[in-house]
Structure 1
Amino acid sequence: MNDSSDVANCLINMANIQFDHGDFYGAQEMALSALNYLKGVNKKSNNLLSFAYNTIANASDELSQFEDAIRYYALAIQYCKEDNVKLKYKNNLSVSLRYAKRYKEAIQLSEDNLRNAPKNSKDYARILNNLARVKFAASASYNPLGDYWIAMKIRKDKDDFWGLNSSYASLSQYYGEMHMDSALYYAEKQYTIAKELKSPDDQINALKRLIEYNKNSQKQYFTKFLALNDSIQQARSAAKNQFALIRYEVEKNKADNLRLEKENVEKQSRLVRQRAITGASIFLLLLAVGGGALWYKRRKQRLELEAQNRVKETQLHLSKKVHDVVANDIYHVMTEVEYRDDLDREVLLDKLEIIYNQSRDISHNVEQRPTVEVPYNEQISTLLKPYGSNIRRISIVGIDAEQWSDVSKRIKEEIKHVLQEFMVNMKKHSGAERVVVRIEKSDQQLKIFYKDNGVGLPAERPQGKGMANTVSRIESLGGGIIFVSEPGEGLSITVNIPLI
């Protein structure tokens, strides 16, 4: 929607996902790219700038780039307009100052944060615990236990399990220098709660202390440490590869969409031209038919009623023949040209000549006569196979030459038209990838089974002229036809024709 702040918001969310999966460099890169979309000065962009800088700072902190983390936390605080969020950012900054060993600044900031935090709140406990840690880091003579106990009590009262995890880590680290039993006790507490929180990094830290403090179970804890550490590294490596693949696929899809849009424009242009040509042709055809009909009417005024009936009968007959013979044969040749790379030019010309002779014979309203007598099973195979392609498979079963020996010429001719109509409708409307045609003869009955895996027959689409002709043909032979169409199951057609 050309809204740059929404773009930035998406990029920041993506950066946080990468951060949660341990892809810290990727999180930095993604959050930095969001800054390019946040050049306006308004409340929304300021909030997003604050989120982006905090994400960059968090990733820098995890990568031990503490000076960078300090710089970006300061920017996050500068743009943040919500006091409770700003307090969290300031506490993050204090932690990074401690890691950078800038203890004086860290202590001053933590004390200021503590004055602004609500008493006995989770934020208060977090800031107090951090203040005690930085004071102890700055001076080994400082005793942080009182502050640690207060922070831990608040966290227990608030059911702040993440906070308790931090308290146990602080106490275990403190006692590690003087009381090994206490250090081991709090390391085990941290490991238990870290497992409940499903925090692998905190489990790793607790296991390191357990390996150091518990000499009797070092092997057991070291085995767990190795397994968990390997699992974390594999997961983070997989996440990095996954995100790279996602970005690649997105860019590829964009390129494909642009190409498809261009092709659609070209197709629309061709369609407009084709419609113009078709419209002009229809107009000329209607003009010619109209002129001929008027001339014929004037010439045959005395026999007007009889002539009109003959014209209607002739039109129906010729329309059926044009559809069954010329139109379907032309469509058959078009299908061969479209899908066959090894098409023989001479064979194509012969087929076109046959179609020409057929259309000429129709114009004189005479019966067609095949130019070359070809075995009927080969005629069926030649008729159906061209409708197959690289994406469509046509399977034909039961067209052996011997089973057609006692079938009348009329039935064979009608079957050809019926099968061709099935193929034409399948190619035009079904979108099928697999088509099966099976022909059986038993008990003086000829059965044709057709099945495809296309879209089937929509209930709202009326039956076309071709399918109506097909039903008429089967019924004229004394047979029956059944259509079965179910959503997702394609189309099934069963034809029964008596041979007696």
Structure 2
Amino acid sequence: MKHLGILLLCLLCLPGCGKEENTPANIAPEKGTPEYYYELGYESSDPAEKLEFYNTGLELVEDPQDTILPALLEGKIYAMSRLGELEATEVWIDSLIKVAELQGDLFYHAKGYYRKAVMNRYLSNPEAVFENNFLSRQLYLKMGDTAMAARRSLDMANAQYELGDLTGAQESATEALKFLDAEKDAHYVSSAHNVVGLSYMNLGFYKEAREEFHNALSFATSRKDSISYLHNIAIAHKNEGNFGEALNILEDIIHSSEPDTESRNRFLDNYYYMKWLQDSAVKVEDELLAVVEARLQRNDREGLITSYSHLSDYYGSKDPVKSKAYAEAMFKAAKENRTTTSEVDALSKLISLSSGAEKDIYLDRYMSLSDSLQEAGLRSKAHFAKVRFDEERKQQQINLLRAENVSQALRTEKLRTRTVIISLIAFLILFTAMALIYYFRQRAKKEKLREIYLTERRISKRIHDELANDIYNVMSTLENVAPVPVVDKLEKIYHRTREFSRENNEIDTGESYVNDLLSMLSHATPANVKLIVKGEQEINWSRLEPEKKIVLYRILQEMMVNMKKHSKASLVALIFSTEKNLLKVRYSDNGIGTTANEIHSGNGIKNICMRLKTVNGKPVFDTEGKGLKSEISIPLIS
């Protein structure tokens, strides 16, 4: 444990600081690691074995920021407590608190203060119990764990009650009740009501005390707790003078099998004492003395104080000598048990039973102890108030620091926001400029397409109106004088010019587009070729811009011309479909096909590729197998 001791000594000298989140993966720990020995200790049920595993794990820890360190420390403290070594846990508890603070681990930080409170309860130091439970409670509240915060408030209430701060005990117990769940925390709810009831009873509010004890009884989770609360109800009735009610309750619980020996002795002692209070003629001497004997055998010093008090009262009018003897025995037992309030009660009896100088001695002692009790009560209240005040002031300083940090963060955020806005404006300007460039380019491209289309139409019109008519006139003039073959050739030239003109006539891109396209395909297909067209009616043609419709029309026209000239096909298929934001047209024929070289060198294919390029379309040609297969893709409007 040598290097671990040095590590913890260094930790106790370090200032507290936060830790980064470092949650280990949810996998089985590697053998021989601190995590491995922590798991072994956690699974063991033997405290000594637990301690051995935790010690081994602690020896392997090298980094004070290792998140397994607080878990190992807490486990070691628990194991030592189970072995009855509570006093020896102090140094380890301080180490746990420091390590948890260093790592910013609120859970183990709160657990450390709770362990320190438990140790101080064992050492009978209620002021330290209160302080450490208060610090633990604050950390649980910071975590948002109100259930654990409420349990620490209840521990604070018990410490305050023990020190005589009855009002403070009520406040802390009531605060605990605000956060406790009646179903999940029934045991703690009943205990909180009991503390409030005891405080009321000691302040003389017996009716209110009984109400609280009844509340505690309604939430009790064990028969033992229920009997204890019933006993408190009986005492409250006794203090009000309702001896009959008190005795009825005590008769029930003294015959119960649940109470342990000390509790049964307490119930019997109160039962016979109350019987005498109800009727002073009743003889209960033997019963009260039997309880004293039982308590002597168990060395129940606190119980003996009560028995001696009751016997002193019982012999008060019957045998003053015995009464004084039991008052002296009560005083001695109270001094040995360091129970100042009981010493004061014993002295008040001795004052009434003594005279002369002896009485003055008891009176002086009584006054001295009463003053010290009052001072102790005031000191305890002041201490509790100081603990709360110091924590509140510390919290105020933290809040001020947080406010300053928030203010600085706001200034930084404001500067960052201004930078973001400027960047956003610059981006918007750049984006707008790029959008405008893209828009004008697209518009220029569309205008260029329209210009090409109009040029084709003008050429077509001139061929039709001028060239074809001139050929027809020459053919008519030569018909009677020229040889028949010459006239036939002229007629073929005339029909070709008319056909070329029809191929480049105006294209309707509106509602009749599909019908015109099908008509063109039908006229472009020779009589000996079968044409199959599918899918054209399922296409949403409104998603294809007019310029793209013209390009598609011309491409299909070009493909049909190439088919007629070169393919020698008897079957042609055109399949229209949409895929994502693309219009796809698949072409196939059963002709003689072509080669890759012919694809790249042919003018018809070049024209198709150039037209597609103007609308960001793409062609794919497949020369494998029989015939020609191709696919063209044109973007649609989203």
Q: Which residue of 2 aligns with 1:106?
A: 246
Tell me the CA shift for residue 269 of structure 1. Answer: 5.9
Q: Does 1:47 pair with 2:187?
A: yes
SS of 2:255's equivalent?
A: helix
Q: Which residue of 2 aligns with 1:215?
A: 355
SS of 2:273's equivalent?
A: helix
Question: Which residue identity does 1:150 align to in structure 2?
Answer: A
1:125 to 248, 255, 265: 265
Tell me the CA shift for residue 197 of structure 1. Answer: 0.8
Question: RMSD of the TM alignment (CA)?
Answer: 2.3
Tell me the CA shift for residue 77 of structure 1. Answer: 1.4
Q: Mark the CA change 1:268 to 1:120 in structure 2 (over 3 Å): closer, same or farther.
A: closer
TM-score where L is the length of structure 2: 0.41
Q: Does 1:95 pair with 2:257?
A: no
Matches within 5 A, 1:216-235: 216=356, 217-235=358-376
Tell me the CA shift for residue 33 of structure 1. Answer: 2.3
Question: Which residue identity does 1:167 align to in structure 2?
Answer: S
Q: Mark the CA change 1:120 to 1:49 in structure 2 (over 3 Å): closer, same or farther.
A: closer
Matches within 5 A, 1:28-47: 28-38=170-180, 40-44=181-185, 46-47=186-187
Q: How far apart are the structure 1 equivalents of 2:182 and 2:258?
A: 31
Q: Mark the CA change 1:118 to 1:155 in structure 2 (over 3 Å): closer, same or farther.
A: farther
Question: Which residue identity does 1:252 align to in structure 2?
Answer: R
SS of 1:42's equivalent?
A: coil
Q: How far apart are the structure 1 equivalents of 2:146 and 2:197?
A: 22
Q: How far apart are the structure 1 equivalents of 2:256 and 2:395?
A: 49
Question: Which residue identity does 1:232 align to in structure 2?
Answer: L
Q: Does 1:26 pair with 2:168?
A: yes
Q: Does 1:197 pair with 2:341?
A: no
1:67 to 188, 195, 207: 207
Tell me the CA shift for residue 93 of structure 1. Answer: 1.5
Question: Which residue identity does 2:304 align to in structure 1?
Answer: L
Q: How far apart are the structure 2 equivalents of 1:258 and 1:120?
A: 51
1:240 to 359, 368, 381: 381
TM-score where L is the length of structure 1: 0.52
- Give deviations 1:10-35, integer Å, cap 9, x for gaps: 22122222212211112112212222
Q: How far apart are the structure 2 equivalents of 1:6 and 1:42?
A: 15
Structure 1 contact 125–150 (Cα < 8 Å) conserved: no
Q: Does 1:260 pair with 2:401?
A: yes
Q: Which residue of 1 aligns with 2:59?
A: none
Matches within 5 A, 1:373-392: none
Structure 2 contact 165–380 (Cα < 8 Å) conserved: yes
Question: Which residue identity does 1:153 align to in structure 2?
Answer: E
Structure 2 contact 182–189 (Cα < 8 Å) conserved: no
Q: How far apart are the structure 1 equivalents of 2:286 and 2:234?
A: 20
- Give deviations 1:358-399, integer Å, cap 9, x for gaps: xxxxxxxxxxxxxxxxxxxxxxxxxxxxxxxxxxxxxxxxxx
Structure 1 contact 165–194 (Cα < 8 Å) conserved: yes
- Give deviations 1:392-426, integer Å, cap 9, x for gaps: xxxxxxxxxxxxxxxxxxxxxxxxxxxxxxxxxxx
Q: Which residue of 1 aligns with 2:224?
A: 84
Structure 2 contact 265–294 (Cα < 8 Å) conserved: yes
Tell me the CA shift for residue 268 of structure 1. Answer: 4.9
Structure 1 contact 56–72 (Cα < 8 Å) conserved: yes
Q: How far apart are the structure 2 equivalents of 1:272 and 1:27?
A: 47
- Percentage identity across paired residues of the two chains: 26
Tell me the CA shift for residue 262 of structure 1. Answer: 2.4
Q: How far apart are the structure 2 equivalents of 1:204 and 1:192?
A: 11
Tell me the CA shift for residue 120 of structure 1. Answer: 7.7
Q: How far apart are the structure 2 equivalents of 1:66 and 1:273?
A: 62
Q: How far apart are the structure 1 equivalents of 2:209 and 2:405?
A: 50
Q: How far apart are the structure 2 equivalents of 1:13 and 1:92?
A: 20
- Give deviations 1:231-265, integer Å, cap 9, x for gaps: 11111112222222322222222222122112223
Structure 2 contact 224–259 (Cα < 8 Å) conserved: no
Structure 2 contact 312–324 (Cα < 8 Å) conserved: yes
Question: Which residue identity does 2:348 align to in structure 1?
Answer: K
Tell me the CA shift for residue 210 of structure 1. Answer: 0.9
Q: Which residue of 1 aligns with 2:148?
A: 6
Q: Which residue of 1 aligns with 2:197?
A: 57
Structure 2 contact 247–271 (Cα < 8 Å) conserved: yes
Q: How far apart are the structure 2 equivalents of 1:247 and 1:83?
A: 37
Q: How far apart are the structure 1 equivalents of 2:253 and 2:241?
A: 19
Structure 1: which 5+ runs fail to align?
278-500
Structure 2 contact 247–274 (Cα < 8 Å) conserved: yes
Q: Which residue of 2 aligns with 1:142?
A: 282
Structure 2 contact 350–359 (Cα < 8 Å) conserved: yes
Q: How far apart are the structure 1 equivalents of 2:156 and 2:265?
A: 30
SS of 2:275's equivalent?
A: helix
- Give deviations 1:313-353, integer Å, cap 9, x for gaps: xxxxxxxxxxxxxxxxxxxxxxxxxxxxxxxxxxxxxxxxx
Tell me the CA shift for residue 272 of structure 1. Answer: 8.1
Point out the structure with max Rg over C-alpha.
2
Structure 1 contact 118–124 (Cα < 8 Å) conserved: no
Q: How far apart are the structure 1 equivalents of 2:414 and 2:146?
A: 40
Q: Which residue of 2 aligns with 1:188?
A: 328
SS of 1:116's equivalent?
A: coil
Matches within 5 A, 1:349-428: none
Q: How far apart are the structure 2 equivalents of 1:220 and 1:21?
A: 27
Structure 1 contact 117–123 (Cα < 8 Å) conserved: no
Q: How far apart are the structure 2 equivalents of 1:163 and 1:117?
A: 20
Tell me the CA shift for residue 118 of structure 1. Answer: 5.3
Q: Which residue of 2 aligns with 1:177?
A: 317
Q: Mark the CA change 1:23 to 1:242 in structure 2 (over 3 Å): closer, same or farther.
A: same
Aligned residues: 276
